[in-house]
Chains A and B, each alone.
Chain A
Amino acid sequence: RKEVEQDPGPFNVPEGATVAFNCTYSNSASQSFFWYRQDCRKEPKLLMSVYSSGNEDGRFTAQLNRASQYISLLIRDSKLSDSATYLCVVRGYQKVTFGIGTKLQVIP
């Protein structure tokens, strides 16, 4: 089993739609969790950290479920500019593991 698993997509959604991505991780000792966004041929950029209590930043909501070992990202009211690859990141004591990324394409 991979340490961090994501559905690579692509997810093709119309503008204004709500879309959700999940990411599962295998190491129950993982300490911190993040979502990064990567545009085509660009470097990854932090979208948001993920806390047990859940956190929201505008149209984006991230949640962590430690019992089931997954994190999620919800995007409401999708914009064309949200088209990108969303990378799930899981951090242990020393090691950082990225998922393969989920590609989102928002269609006019």
Chain B
Amino acid sequence: DTGVSQNPRHKITKRGQNVTFRCDPISEHNRLYWYRQTLGQGPEFLTYFQNEAQLEKSRLLSDRFSAERPKGSFSTLEIQRTEQGDSAMYLCASSLGLAVYQETQYFGPGTRLLVL
């Protein structure tokens, strides 16, 4: 499978615990995005990387959230001290960074987080 992969697919954790999600983009893609989606809403942009550089962070990304893409390949999203409001689907997408109007983002299957 040469698409975007995310692990784990599901995560149940207790409030206050830390969780880390991984995203493996399509191999030649230089841009990588993280989104959060809750039921009945569209995906909300969290952050994006071009290669290893984190170029943009949403105000939604509180100081409990951190994302890395250390070698410009896979990325991790960590949530510290989880809260029940963090329960959501976390989606990763990658793209080949052509001109903006030509960019197609390919999404992974997501990691569904439930904080008890």
Chain B contacts for A6, CB-based, 8 A = 42
Total interface residues on A, CB under 8 Å, equals 23
Instruction: List residues of chain B with CB under 8 Å of any chain A CB.
Output: 33, 35, 40-45, 48, 55-56, 58, 91, 100-110
Q: Is the interface of B mostly helix, strand, loop or mixed?
A: mixed
The reply to whether A32 and B101 contact each other, CB–CB distance below 8 Å, is: yes
Q: How many residue pairs at the A-B interface have CB separations less than 8 Å? A: 52
What are 17 A-B residue pairs whose CB atoms fall within 8 Å in the complex? Answer: A8-B40, A31-B101, A42-B109, A43-B91, A43-B107, A44-B43, A44-B91, A45-B107, A46-B104, A46-B105, A46-B106, A49-B102, A91-B100, A94-B48, A94-B55, A98-B44, A100-B41
Instruction: List residues of chain A with CB under 8 Å of any chain B CB.
Output: 4, 6, 8, 31-32, 42-46, 49, 51, 87, 91, 93-101
The reply to whether B45 and A96 contact each other, CB–CB distance below 8 Å, is: yes
Chain B contacts for A43, CB-based, 8 A = 91, 107-110
The reply to whether B43 and A98 contact each other, CB–CB distance below 8 Å, is: yes
**Closest CB-CB distance, A40 to chain B, in whole Å?**
11
Residue of chain B at shortest CB distance from A97: B45
The reply to whether A99 and B42 contact each other, CB–CB distance below 8 Å, is: yes
> In the docked arrangement, what's the CA distance between A42 and B56, Å?
26
> In the docked arrangement, what's the CA distance between A4 and B41, Å?
12
The reply to whether B101 and A44 contact each other, CB–CB distance below 8 Å, is: no
Chain B contacts for A96, CB-based, 8 A = 33, 45, 48, 105
Chain B contacts for A51, CB-based, 8 A = 101
Chain B contacts for A97, CB-based, 8 A = 45
Residue of chain A at shortest CB distance from B110: A43
> In the docked arrangement, what's the CA distance between A99 and B40, Å?
11
The reply to whether A44 and B107 contact each other, CB–CB distance below 8 Å, is: yes
